[in-house]
Amino acid sequence: MSQSYVNKNIFIVGSEGGSVLRATLAPINHYSNSEGKLMLDLQQGVKFKPQVYPFLLNLLPKNVREVKAHIEKVCKINKI
């Protein structure tokens, strides 16, 4: 991996297979996923801490539902 000297948000990544990829870093607006945020705000069973929101809201709404359902299932099985 190598980072650009001019713009710290641009870097390249090489793989063992010989592929070289150019990538950029961009700030993520975690709260732009309004459907996912609403789903987390209206939680009934498992209560997620606010520190988890940035991770979960980086997912697509469909995936937020799947992750939330999985966590709730595990908590129910383990009686947490």
Contact 11, 2 (CB under 8 A): yes
The sign of the dihedral angle between the CA atoms of 7, 9, 15, 18 is: negative
- Among candidates 13, 15, 10, 19, which has minimal Cα distance to 1? 13
Domains of the chain: total: 1
The residue range of the domain holding 65 is 2-77
- Of all residues in the chain, the percent with pLDDT exceeding 90 is 0
Taking 70 as the threshold, does the pLDDT of residue 13 lie above it?
Answer: yes
**More confident: 66 or 45:** 66
In the numeric block, which tokens belong to residue 70?
């999985």
pTM above 0.95, yes or no: no
